[in-house]
């Protein structure tokens, strides 16, 4: 997939520098942030449920959960602040580079956007092919089952056929609809997962694109500040 659209050597050099300075897009801080929020939410839900029961034996546990949720809250704030600092430092390093200017940044953004758009088109096409193959396979399996069913019915004695048909008639229309809905939901999930897997190659590039967007905004902001200061001097 990486070879379908060739990226420039400049992008590869920038990617390496961003990964070094930004430390894999700050995933350690992000995972800690969301993990602590998850624990805090679980604690709050437990506190609400425990208070509703109005059991005095739960008071020590409730107090413990309150303390844990408080610690998780402040820890999540710290992780978020650390992540913002790390990102800002990586942006400043890129801005300090003599090779960084607004034209190069715009070209880099265009290159990344083209790659992501073309990859999305490819993923849509690949998903369409996958769905077509899936429909053909399901249709073939269904036809085989129908043929086996016909052979099975023909081989059964008449009494057993009537008993079998009576058992089948006991299945309600609601049961059939539920089975069909379950099957469609499962197929939809499989197709969606296939689409996500097809897009997995763009994940890093999307993160780099968001980072480069921030770099461009900082450059534009600095340019405006310089322009305003020059006007004041004049």
Asked whether residue 182 is assigned to any structural domain, the reply reads no
Residue at 202 is within a domain = no
Contact (Cβ atoms closer than 8 angstroms) between residue 1 and residue 201: yes
Report if residue 177 sits inside a domain: no
The per-residue DSSP string of 184-220 comes to HHHHHHHHHHHHHHHTGGGHHHHHHHHHHHHHHHHHH
pLDDT digits over 156-178, tens only? 666 665 665 566 665 666 666 77
State mean pLDDT over 81-98.
85
Number of structural domains (the chain) is 1
Average pLDDT over residues 81-92: 86
Q: Can you point out the beta strands (E) in the chain? A: none
| Parent domain of 86 | 1-99
Is residue 26 a contact partner of residue 83, using CB atoms and an 8 Å limit?
Answer: yes
- Flag whether 218 is in a domain: no
Instruction: Give domain status of residue 150, yes or no.
Output: no
Nearest to 187 by CA among 121, 135, 129: 135
Question: Residue 46, CB half-sphere, CA atoms under 13 Å: how many?
Answer: 18
Distance CA 178, CA 181 (A): 5
**108 within domain boundaries:** no
Is 106 part of any domain? no
Whole-structure pTM value: 0.62
Evaluate whether residue 187 is within a structural domain. no
Tell me: the pLDDT tens digits for 197-213?
777 778 888 888 988 99
**Residues 6 or more apart in contact with residue 65 via CB below 8 angstroms:** 43, 44, 46, 47, 50
């Amino acid at each position: 997939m990486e070879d379908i659209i060739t990226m420039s050597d400049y992008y590869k050099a920038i990617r390496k520098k961003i990964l070094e300075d930004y430390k894999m897009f700050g995933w350690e801080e992000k995972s800690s942030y969301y993990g602590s929020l998850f624990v805090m939410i679980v604690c709050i839900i437990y506190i609400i449920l425990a208070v509703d029961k109005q059991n005095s034996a739960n008071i020590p546990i409730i107090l413990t959960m309150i303390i844990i949720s408080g610690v998780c809250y402040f820890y999540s704030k710290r992780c978020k602040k650390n992540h913002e600092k790390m990102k800002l430092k990586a942006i400043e390093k890129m801005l300090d580079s003599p090779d960084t200017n607004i034209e190069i940044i715009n070209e880099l953004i265009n290159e990344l956007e083209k790659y992501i758009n073309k990859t999305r088109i490819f993923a849509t096409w690949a998903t369409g092919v996958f769905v077509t193959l899936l429909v053909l396979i399901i249709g073939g399996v269904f036809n085989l089952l129908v043929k086996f069913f016909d052979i099975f019915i023909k081989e059964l004695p008449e009494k057993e056929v009537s008993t079998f048909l009576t058992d089948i008639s006991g299945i309600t229309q609601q049961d059939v609809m539920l089975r069909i809905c379950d099957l469609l939901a499962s197929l939809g999930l499989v197709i969606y997962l296939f689409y996500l897997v097809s897009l997995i190659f763009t994940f890093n590039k999307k993160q780099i694109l968001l980072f480069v967007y921030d770099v461009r905004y900082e450059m534009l902001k600095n340019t405006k500040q310089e322009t305003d200061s020059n006007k004041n001097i004049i």
